[in-house]
A = this chain, B = another copy of it.
């Protein structure tokens, strides 16, 4: 039932080319730990980030954006109106949007916020295994924002969640899995050292939003975005000495991947 995807796949490279042609405007309401890295990842891949977070502005902005990302990593009561307003505006305008339910299930307040966000029909839900299992209603565990379960163990839960919500679900882990409730695609690549870079997963959520703004379907967007990100991560890990240089190299790789400089990338990074 699970198929593996291998780069270069023509659909994926086409999506990446389209992303760079369109330069999609990606509206982000994300957590305060990763705003900078997320914006830089979007710029590097070829998108245009816009961190518009005022409750007074989100509803005007979500409709003009090509895609929206909402990440609840550091949500406080002051942020809830902006998140809900952005999600509602995106849903009403037909703007695809990605929900990143960081640490859902582990903490009560954000779990309530995520439940309210789900009412606005996210296009893609991206999380680690613990988060996806929690949303699917299956007991799991987590350690802060880190998963204590393997992504493979969350495939059934991801399919259940996708079927129930209508969203494409992307489970991130050693292997990433993308499902629309029926089909499941596994994406290899990346590197374990990426778990030592804060925001590496959060930035993937933003990259999926960028692809959702230009791809033929949310499912294809999640597969293409995950595959490009995984390869960029794998390449970055080859030149990194530790997590500091890995974060820098990941941004460089996202910029260089699939471009005319790609041969150069193969040699230099």
Interface residues of A (CB under 8 A from B): 23, 25, 27, 31-37, 39-40, 43-44, 48-57, 60-61, 65, 73-78, 82, 103, 107-110, 143-146, 195-199, 240-245, 247-256, 268-269
Closest residue of chain B to A34, judged by CB? Answer: B36
> For residue A245, which residues in chain B have a CB less than 8 angstroms away from its CB?
248-249, 251-252
22 residue pairs of the A-B complex, CB under 8 angstroms, read: A25-B144, A33-B51, A40-B196, A40-B244, A43-B197, A48-B143, A52-B74, A55-B77, A56-B77, A56-B108, A57-B107, A57-B109, A57-B110, A60-B108, A196-B255, A240-B252, A242-B256, A244-B249, A244-B250, A244-B251, A247-B248, A248-B248
Report A205 CB to chain B, min CB distance, Å.
16
> For residue A103, which residues in chain B have a CB less than 8 angstroms away from its CB?
50, 52
> Which of B34, B51, B248, B255 is in CB contact (< 8 Å) with A73?
B51
Query: Which residue, of A61, A78, A251, A254, has the highest number of chain B Cβ atoms within 10 A?
Result: A251
> For residue A242, which residues in chain B have a CB less than 8 angstroms away from its CB?
44, 251-256, 269
> For residue A49, which residues in chain B have a CB less than 8 angstroms away from its CB?
144, 198
> For residue A146, which residues in chain B have a CB less than 8 angstroms away from its CB?
48
Q: Are A56 and B144 in contact (CB under 8 A)?
A: no
Measured CA separation A56–B80 after assembly (Å) = 13
> Which of B23, B54, B74 is in CB contact (< 8 Å) with A51?
B74
Q: Are B256 and A251 in contact (CB under 8 A)?
A: no
> Which of B51, B57, B110 is in CB contact (< 8 Å) with A31?
B51
Q: Are A54 and B40 in contact (CB under 8 A)?
A: no
Report A156 CB to chain B, min CB distance, Å.
27
> For residue A54, which residues in chain B have a CB less than 8 angstroms away from its CB?
74-77, 109-110
> For residue A255, which residues in chain B have a CB less than 8 angstroms away from its CB?
196, 242-244
Report A130 CB to chain B, min CB distance, Å.
13
Q: Are B250 and A198 in contact (CB under 8 A)?
A: no
Q: Are A196 and B43 in contact (CB under 8 A)?
A: yes
> For residue A196, which residues in chain B have a CB less than 8 angstroms away from its CB?
40, 43-44, 255
Q: Are B39 and A36 in contact (CB under 8 A)?
A: no
User: Given contacts A33-B51, A144-B25, are A40 and B247 in contact (CB under 8 A)?
Assistant: yes
Q: Are A252 and B244 in contact (CB under 8 A)?
A: yes
Measured CA separation A250–B54 after assembly (Å) = 30
